[in-house]
Amino acid sequence: MLNANPVSLLPPNGSTFESVLSLVSAARRPLNSDIIRSVWNPATCPLDLLPYLAWGLGLELWDDSWSEQKKRDTIANIWKLKREKTTLAGISAYVDLVGSEVVAARRPRDKVFAIQTLSDAERAAQMALMPQIHIYPAAQPVTGDMAKAFFAGDTWHCFYNAGEVSEPSDAAARYEQRAVYVDAGVTSPVYVRGLDQALDSGVTVALASPASTAKAFLNTCWSATVLIDTDADNRTVAITPQDLGESFAVPAGLTPTEVRPIRVAESVALQPGKAFCSFSYWGGDSLVASDAETHVYDQVTLFDSSRLVSTHRAISFWGWSHFALAPYSAELTIDIPLQRPTYAFGSWWGVGVWYETDMTPLWNTLEAVSVAQALRDDIDVNTVLYTPINFETGLMFGSFNFGDYRKAN
């Protein structure tokens, strides 16, 4: 709201000139204070500022002709749109923004096909042999030292049965210790980087590596003259959590891998021996730390080639293709609404006869696909809908006339 009596925010030692200049500027250029708290909210942002909000949040597609509700809904869903990029669902969502629709998709496998795939039970047994990483939603709690009981009063405070100063907190050091490495029932803590990034775009897990005690750096290496090559790349796992992705065993390396983690929420029984009764616990004199955070986590399986069981024999399809598509490729059929040709003299006149066809929906659709695709992908566009009929020798089905067109395959 506008303040009729602006209050200067200058310090007490401000000069008279600074005070007068501040009051005059506030009177001539009043600022609606509600904008400050509402401009970053797509539901309350003023309509004329919505394009700037979309630009500030990184929305790649925008059309001023959209309705107000569509503009606000699109900005509100920007994080979901970004997360789903490079997936079929993400491409479909971006195509929907420009008024088109992905009506069909074909995504064959590569040229290598297994004769008989693993069953669900066999695959689960194989995955159980691999090591796992459990990523927790919050830093793990620790049990406080009950000998450090804090007593406070109006004028004094101290620590019971301890020193006269408090111990420094190690919460900052434990913030990144948000995961554990589980292998054959043995659990060890690991560190996770990137949890505070926007969109949870990617996290890096640093696995523990036993140091070699025989190689101590002291001017030269102990019992050697050269340094040992680091294996940090093989002790680091970079993943991008993607709910719409596939769930599989992730290989080690610094290259981010999109994977769908398994959301685990375990149910446990409470400890019956600790009953709360008037500021104390029956059968004990201290609180028991809750371990609820350890039962809710994202499970990611790591790949270890040495633990693979015998798999089925694989064969290759002749011609490097299947269903007429090259390996590692996909075919999307997109419905793009264009203005229909003009009807005159008893028939529909083709493109450009009576007016120049507006191809803006086509260009907008191609832009939407380009925004949502992965950078490694190449896109080939085919806009042929109908082809002229060619009469050749061979079997003929149906009757055609010269000059007729048929729908392209």
Tens-place pLDDT, residues 314-373: 555 444 444 456 656 778 888 888 776 666 555 555 544 555 677 888 899 989 998 888
**Cβ count within 10 A of residue 405:** 12
- Is 325 within 8 Å of 106 (Cβ atoms)? yes
* pLDDT of 156: 46
pLDDT at 1: 47
Amino acid at 40: W
Encoding tokens for residue 319?
Answer: 């011609």
How far are the Cα atoms of 16, 173, 284, 329, 379 from residue 332, in angstroms, in the given order?
70, 49, 66, 10, 10
Interatomic CA distance for residues 2 and 108, integer angstroms: 61
Distance of CA 363 to the CA centre of its chain: 27
Using DSSP's 3-state secondary structure scheme, residue 252 falls into: coil
Question: Would you state the pLDDT for residue 337?
Answer: 84
For the record, the structure tokens of 126 come out as 């194989």
pLDDT at 96: 92
Write the DSSP symbol of residue 202.
Answer: -
For 375, list phi and psi in degrees, rounded to 5: -65, -25
CA separation, residue 207 to residues 187, 227, 284, 299, 383 (Å): 12, 21, 38, 15, 50
pLDDT at 245: 65
Long-range contacts at 193-196 (CB < 8 A, ≥ 24 apart): none
Q: What does the block give as tokens for 85? A: 């990029």
pLDDT for position 407: 59
Q: How many other C-beta atoms lie within 10 A of the C-beta of residue 402?
A: 7
- How far is 58 from 64, CA to CA, in rounded Å? 16
User: What is the end-to-end Cα distance of the chain in Å, rounded?
Assistant: 62
Between CA 149 and CA 159 the distance in angstroms is 6
In the 8-state DSSP scheme, what is residue 127? H
Q: What share of the chain is helix, strand, coil (3-state, %, to 5)?
A: 25, 20, 55
pLDDT at 361: 87
Asked if residue 57 lies in contact with residue 40, where contact means CB atoms within 8 angstroms, the answer is no
Rounded to a whole number of angstroms, the CA Rg of the chain reads 33
**Which regions of the chain are under pLDDT 70?**
1-8, 30-31, 33, 108-118, 139-177, 194-202, 208-234, 244-246, 254, 256, 270-291, 310-328, 340-356, 385-409
Which residue has 């994080």 as its token pair? Answer: 79
User: What is the SS3 assignment for 219?
Assistant: coil
Residue 167 pLDDT: 58
> To the nearest 10°, the Cα dihedral for 108, 114, 118, 119?
60
Domain range list for the chain: 118-307
Quick one: CA torsion of 372, 106, 111, 262, rounded to 10 degrees? 60
